[in-house]
Amino acid sequence: MNPITRKNYTAAIHITTGGIMTVIATILDYRSAIPVLTGYISANLVRLPSETRAPLSPPRQRGFRFPTFRNGIAQAIVILAATAALKTVIPPHILLPLLGIAAFLSLAHLSRMDHATIRFMAIAGLGCATTLRHHIHGLLGFAIIMLPAAPCLLGAAGFAITGGLLTVVGITAALTVFLHRLYNRRTCDALLTLILLAYVLTAAFFIASGPVGIVSILLLVTALLLTALHRIARTRTWRLP
């Protein structure tokens, strides 16, 4: 099911088989080594038509659809167009919160996760990074358009809002993937809520250190948490639930 692993195994099998056949042909008659090797390579490069082969399809259709890269680009363009249109009639101190709300709603839609897909990808041998990339195509499309364009419309404040939201949603997506590889859906939701509460309490405890200190502490805690969860979630690859 993993294309890269499948290609590696296929190459190893062909190299081993072709080498054994060449050695045997050389021992029997050295003049037949080249025709045997050429015939083996030709037989594996040319695919014969087959009427019995059918495309792989799931036993039942599921209603969940992943946001695509184009979905992220389209939503970012719509938000930027609306912001540019409202910029002339709404002052910046009102427009910035509206941009933040619109970006948050869009990112909440683009970062949707499917528990069954994450579990299946772990069972199929796909790693944490591959699973995460599969779920954040929409976020990448949104970021590519929004991050360069937001400062042009609203300056550094627009970049700070969109960049901060993208960072938070990206971290949440990584936590969600790691937790869903380890626990069931309800446990994951409960743990995510507890982690969010822990972040709020940590920020409140270190409020005297100022915004820079709070952000630095939260980033350090996030790095440690993601590292620990990644090490545990990585061991669940190929394991049945």
pLDDT (tens digit, 9 = 90+) per residue, 182-216?
A: 888 889 889 988 998 888 888 888 888 888 888 88
CA quadruple 134, 135, 136, 142: dihedral sign: positive
pLDDT tens digits along 142-189: 999 999 998 888 888 889 999 999 999 999 999 999 999 988 888 988
Strands (E), 88-241: none
Average pLDDT of the chain to the nearest whole number: 83
Which tens digit of pLDDT belongs to each residue from 122-147? 888 888 989 998 889 899 999 999 99
Cα 118 to Cα 115, 134, 154, 176: the distances in Å are 5, 9, 37, 9
Q: With beta carbons less than 8 A apart as the criterion, state whether 107 and 161 touch.
A: no
Structure tokens, 167: 């960072």
